[in-house]
Amino acid sequence: MRLSPPASTEAINQGGEVISTEPRINDRIRVPQVRLIGFSGEQVGVVDIDTALKMADEVGLDLVEIAPEAQPPVCKVMDFGKYKYEIAQKAREARQNQTHIVVKEMRLRPKIEPHDYETKKTHIERFLKGGDKVKVTIQFRGREQARPEIGYRLLMKLAEELSEVAFVEFAPKQEGRNMTMVLGTNVKKGQSVSQQKAAKVASRKKEVVEEEVTEV
């Protein structure tokens, strides 16, 4: 019979006990009976644990408990090492496919100087091209609070000038002394604006070709 390898993944429960987070395999499965699934996926049915272990041993594979909460627990004959590798591979692929969106913040004054405005717009554009969202906040002071339309016009001007790389995800909203707007990015992380444009052009050309073929 194949012996279980030492547990490599552990966790601590609320009682302070160290427990394995991996499924039980082979001699660690300590129940009288299991519902067995064969190596090829065939349903063997409910068998004694000794019978299940023997069947796994005969083909040189492991008996893995895949549904411990079932009555009786469900076990499958498989190559546990290969199974762990495939699970780890899928987890890595899932992490790589995740898009990590960061929300940057930029603060402006209602009567910002043109030079400062252009500098901050450049920073915002860089954030957006990097694939991040940007929360733009207009800070009102004193009598400026009586003229919220100035802040609104400034935010909409900014959104229009950055429309090539951004869209308004959350429209300007007054929050006390501040007015905020969130810009979402049109650029995917790891892809430049020129690459985005090329992809859009290629997509439009494909649509035109498909339409022509349909008409013919």
CB count, 10 Å around CB of 65? Answer: 19
- Measure the CA–CA gap between 55 and 75, rounded to whole angstroms: 12
For the segment 54-87, what is each residue's pLDDT rounded down to a tens digit? 999 999 999 999 999 999 999 999 999 998 888 8
DSSP state of 212: H
**Fold of the domain built from segment(s) 10-80:** Ubiquitin-like (UB roll) (3.10.20)
**Reported CATH class of domain 96-216:** alpha beta
Helix (H, G, I), strand (E, B) or coil at 77: strand
Query: Can 10-80 and 96-216 be said to share one CATH topology?
Result: no
Backbone angles phi, psi at 185, to 5 degrees: -100, 145
Question: What residue spans define the domains of the chain?
Answer: 10-80, 96-216
| Structure confidence by residue, pLDDT tens digits, 93-131 | 877 766 667 789 999 999 999 999 999 999 999 999 998
Query: Please, which residues have CB within 8 angstroms of residue 140's CB and are 6 or more apart in sequence?
Result: 110, 148, 151, 177, 178, 179
